[in-house]
Amino acid sequence: MATSETAKRVAVAAVGIPVAVGAVVAGGWTLATLLALASVLAALEFHRLAAAKGVHSLAIPSALAAAGFVAVAAYAPAAGPGHPARAALVVLLVLGSVAGAIWARGVQGQPVLAISATVFGALYTGGLLAFGVYLRHLPGVVDRWHGTALVFAPVLLTWTNDSCAYFVGRAFGRRKLVPKVSPGKTVEGTLGALAGTIVVAVAYTWVLGRFPTYRLGFVEAAAFGALVSVAAVVGDLAESLLKRDAGVKDSGTLLPGHGGALDRFDSLFFTLPLAYYFFRYAVGAP
């Protein structure tokens, strides 16, 4: 990697990490505002990928709906994704997409693809990133540091998985994992990432053990680490599939040296919901 590229990555991280940490600690509408912005940017990038394939989706309504999913989460975070407002937003998204396709696309505008991309773009971005708010405010969370520790469980493990896959893959990678989707990923790197993520998950039990709820035993932590590792890989491959289909290297140029919002959140789209359901139902608050 060129020195200038590395400098760009470090500069973006130096600004982005403190902002992200502060938003997670604050929680509520502060965290929701940051995630809603990320959702809008990611949704717009998704629709640019769709446009590259000739799909004329309804980008702006979809991006607004993506932000709406995060806003619904902030409105009633403890209720989780089962809150009626979330279901109502899904219904409005579908109905609005159909109505928009009638008036703005018509028969010649590939309405089936337009509607599908519009709905999926909002659910894939805002619908999944909203779980960051749900996780931060799980029932039984005792204070802001407890909620922060829960959010950073999947975030830290996702970063660990990506880092281990990169370094192990570079050192020992020989066999390609899914070369037609992501030529850089190797079986050896993926297995190394799995092992590293499990180790860090087990070590993270010390952090969660400082709080009265949502503690993990070693076996639970190992299972959680394994699940996050698999979900992170699938999330990364899913976005790689979309980019390869659209014929682009990065989803955007929002973050110098890092690509776009989709590039940064691809794994978290999968690991945040996984973490929510794991802590909420597999572990639970005693």
Structure-block tokens of residue 23: 């938003």
Looking from the CA of 63 toward its CB, the CA atoms found within 13 Å total 16
Query: Is the model's pLDDT at 236 over the cut of 60?
Result: yes
Q: For 38-90, how does the pLDDT look when each residue is reduced to its tens digit (9 = 90+)?
A: 999 999 999 999 999 999 999 999 999 999 999 999 999 999 999 999 999 99
Q: Could you tell me if 193 and 164 are in contact, meaning their C-beta atoms sit under 8 angstroms apart?
A: yes
The per-residue b/e assignment along 113-124, b for 16 or more CB within 10 angstroms, e otherwise, is bbbbbbbbbbbb
Q: What mean pLDDT is predicted for residues 32-42?
A: 97
Long-range contacts of 33-36 (CB under 8 A, 24+ apart): 35/70, 35/126, 35/129, 35/130, 35/132, 35/133, 36/66, 36/67, 36/70, 36/71, 36/126
pLDDT for 162: 95
Measure the CA–CA gap between 87 and 152, rounded to whole angstroms. Answer: 27
Higher pLDDT, 259 or 200: 200
Q: What mean pLDDT is predicted for residues 250-254?
A: 69
pLDDT for 1: 46
pLDDT for 7: 63
Q: Could you tell me if 157 and 201 are in contact, meaning their C-beta atoms sit under 8 angstroms apart?
A: yes
Structure-block tokens of residue 77: 């975070």
Query: Is the model's pLDDT at 8 over the cut of 70?
Result: no
Residue tagged 């979309």 (tokens): 242
Q: Could you tell me if 45 and 59 are in contact, meaning their C-beta atoms sit under 8 angstroms apart?
A: no
Q: Could you tell me if 214 and 283 are in contact, meaning their C-beta atoms sit under 8 angstroms apart?
A: yes
Q: What mean pLDDT, rounded, does the chain reach? A: 92
Lowest mean pLDDT segment, chosen from 100-114, 133-147, 195-209:
100-114
Domain boundaries, the chain: 20-137, 142-286
> Residue 210, Cα to own-chain centre: how many angstroms?
27
Structure-block tokens of residue 120: 């999926």
Q: How many CB atoms lie within 10 A of CB 158?
A: 25
Q: For 170-197, how does the pLDDT look when each residue is reduced to its tens digit (9 = 90+)?
A: 999 899 999 989 988 999 999 999 999 9
Query: Is the model's pLDDT at 135 over the cut of 70?
Result: yes
pLDDT for 133: 98
pLDDT band, very low/low/confident/very high, at 16 (cuts 50, 70, 90):
confident
pLDDT for 31: 97
pLDDT for 14: 76
Q: What mean pLDDT is predicted for residues 224-239?
A: 97
pLDDT band, very low/low/confident/very high, at 17 (cuts 50, 70, 90):
confident
pLDDT for 243: 92
- Cα separation of the two ends of the chain: 48
